[in-house]
Amino acid sequence: MTIGSGHDAVVIGSGAGGGAVAWQLCQMGLKVLVLEAGPAFDPPTDYPLTTAGWERRGFPSPPGSRAMLRYGDLGTLDPDSEDLASWSRGGFPWRLPSGAARPPSDAGYSHVMGLGGSTLHYVGESHRLHPDVFRRHSLTGQGRDWPLSYDDLESYYSQAEQVIGVASDGAADGRPRAAPYPLPPHPLGPGARALVAAGARIGQRWQVNPRAALSQPYNDRPACNYCGGCSRGCPLGDKGSTDVTFLRQASRTGRLSVVPEAIVTRLLAGPNGRIVRADVIVQGRAETVETPILFLCAGAVQTPRLLLLSASADQPLGLANSSDQVGRNFIETLAWRSTGLVAGLKGSHRGLPADAICWAPDAADPGGFRLNHTTLEAGLNGPIAYANRLLSGHGVALKEALRNQFGSAVSVGAIGELVPDERSRVTLDAQMRDALGLPVAQISSVLTPAALDRLRRMRLAARAVLAEAGAELVEEAGSRDAFTATHVFGTARMGTDPTTSVTDPFGRTHDHPNLWVADASLFPGSGGGESPSLTIMALALRAAKAAA
């Protein structure tokens, strides 16, 4: 069959990394084929806000849009960390029994397979890493240094911000920028305004969060309508997911071909190390693809899986794995959320999700974590969530409480750096196989005592600003109880030493001159809680420029 012929480059995956790579290569005049395992979504029909049950609808998961997974070592719910257990006043069943033999819940991994990848589901926080992240080990003795600097990425950050459309006010945040944000900031909602005021009184500086959501019409996309549903799928297409930004613009060059429901199952290397072939199942048919340049952008779980699945007699550890680092160094981020009811506050269910951020809430843990306003991401945008989770009582008393308190909830989220335990990794599962008969990825991710200590600091900072805002705490949840990571990294990390890294500082694999990685797998560290997509995109733009 013929999908593989005549292309200058093939890109596997169409998420944050794959979308940006495809755009850059097309801009540079190459003919590009994108192979995407998942389906194409249709925003107005797949993410409707006008149907009954809108409040309870999560991001849709049609067949083929979630990878089968197995979990390995997730640690245990040690009674010593019982103080970090999730809870809710309304009795929503989040509290898990502790016990030395009990693992945390594994229900939370929500990455998407589809045209646009996990950016379809993402909220759209668009952060640059702090310059110190690139020198983490040199500065703190913790984690690793990156093999490049903030300055190496600055122009690519700007380019990505322009393409996806990032709105913010440019207030100082320690991340120098040569160009202003392409769009003016969104107005802060009532919950964010309460946090800005309370934070100022206790030394927490809350400010506008850079967001890939349009504050005014931009290119061919409309302005945000503040429906609050970003992580449920944006019905308007103003959120900066790659399907409506990088891929749409790349297709206008006439040089892009995109094939959804095309699952790459194996890569084959020739005697000189070059990748000579990719095996693909396209809507059920087996095909092969040949290409001079191959970009692997399947995300931090599926990228190592595909490299490991491609083991052969010549490459018994899998492709790009002479260092034995593929799948190791799996990094999630630490997450915490505290929610309170603020007497007298109205309308916190309105506005843009994640509209405000506090970059440095804890002077004793600089660069360790950040806070954000997360009421809408917490699902508190309608009455059912209040009744289920936040309010107690029944019948008339519950209705009365709902009338009085709806719109007064404020959630503070915290996301922090996790230095991975050596057990944290992605491997091929020995038992479970997917619909094609291939071993699924197995994720192991263990929180260390140091990680749990940081989680306590995150909780302290979140509670402090809520207390100052006059909130009564009603619900808390965090990484200790559940693997819920929306940010995952590290399984094909970049570096200068081929014995401890999988790719060079641009993303070209050390072992295969025409095989590049451009996704979250490259990250040597997670950063201090910054959302990763903008960095994935910037790295991808830089890699594609180097490869073209």
Ligand X SMILES: Cc1cc2nc3c(=O)[nH]c(=O)nc-3n(C[C@H](O)[C@H](O)[C@H](O)COP(=O)(O)OP(=O)(O)OC[C@H]3O[C@@H](n4cnc5c(N)ncnc54)[C@H](O)[C@@H]3O)c2cc1C
Please give the residue ranges that form the binding site for ligand X (CB under 6 A): 12-18, 35-38, 110-111, 113-114, 117-119, 121-125, 231, 263-264, 297-300, 302, 306, 486-487, 519-520, 531-533, 536
Residue 34 or residue 356: which is nearer to ligand SF4 going by CB?
356
User: How many Cβ atoms are within 10 Å of 11's Cβ, its own excluded?
Assistant: 32
Does position 239 interact with ligand SF4 (CB under 6 A)? The reply is yes
- How many Å apart are CA 283 and CA 64, to the nearest integer? 10
Residue pair 172/183 in contact (Cβ under 8 Å)? The answer is no
What does 338 bind: ligand SF4, ligand X, none (CB cut-off 5 to 8 Å by kind)? Answer: none
The number of C-alpha atoms within 13 Å of 45 and in the hemisphere containing its C-beta is 4
167 scored as a contact of ligand SF4 (CB under 6 A)? no
Task: Give least dist CB 173 to ligand SF4, A.
Answer: 21
Contact between 224 and ligand SF4 per CB under 6 A: yes
- The residue among 462, 545, 529 whose CA lies nearest residue 129 is 529
- DSSP 8-state symbol, 391: -
Q: What is the CA radius of gyration of the chain?
A: 23
Q: Which is nearer to ligand X, 37 or 236 (CB)?
A: 37
Site map (CB under 6 A) of ligand SF4, residues 97-136, x = contact: ----------------------------------------
Q: Which is nearer to ligand X, 12 or 256 (CB)?
A: 12
Residue whose Cβ sits closest to ligand X: 15
- Give the span between the Cα atoms of 376 and 353, in whole angstroms: 5
Residue 495 DSSP SS3: coil
The Cα–Cα gap between 509 and 399 comes to 60
Judged by CB under 6 A, the residue of 17, 117, 228, 413 near ligand SF4 is 228
Place of tokens 């009582």: 393
Measured distance CA(194)–CA(180) in Å, rounded: 27
> Of 213 and 465, which CB lies nearer to ligand SF4 in the complex structure?
213
519 binds, among ligand X, ligand SF4, none (CB under 5 to 8 A by kind): ligand X
List Cα–Cα distances, 517 to 11, 538, 544, 546, in angstroms. Answer: 10, 13, 10, 12
Q: Are 289 and 35 in contact (CB under 8 A)?
A: yes
Assigned token pair, 379:
């699902």
362 binds, options ligand X, ligand SF4, none, Cβ within 5 to 8 A by partner type: none
**What is the C-alpha separation between 479 and 541, in angstroms, rounded?**
32
* # of chain residues touching ligand SF4 (CB under 6 A): 13
To the nearest whole angstrom, how small is the minimum distance from the Cβ of residue 214 to ligand X? 15
Q: How far is the CB of 128 from ligand X (least distance, A)?
A: 11
Residue whose CB is less far from ligand SF4, 350 or 463: 350
Instruction: Find which of ligand X, ligand SF4, none residue 224 binds, CB within 5 to 8 Å per kind.
Output: ligand SF4
Cβ proximity of 8 and 292 under 8 Å: yes
361 binds, among ligand X, ligand SF4, none (CB under 5 to 8 A by kind): none
Alpha helices, H only, 165-233: 190-202
Kindly state whether residue 238 participates in binding ligand SF4, applying the rule CB under 6 A.
yes
Specify the residue, 410 or 451, whose C-beta has the smaller distance to ligand SF4. 410
Binding-site ranges for ligand SF4 (CB under 6 A): 213, 224-230, 234, 236, 238-239, 352
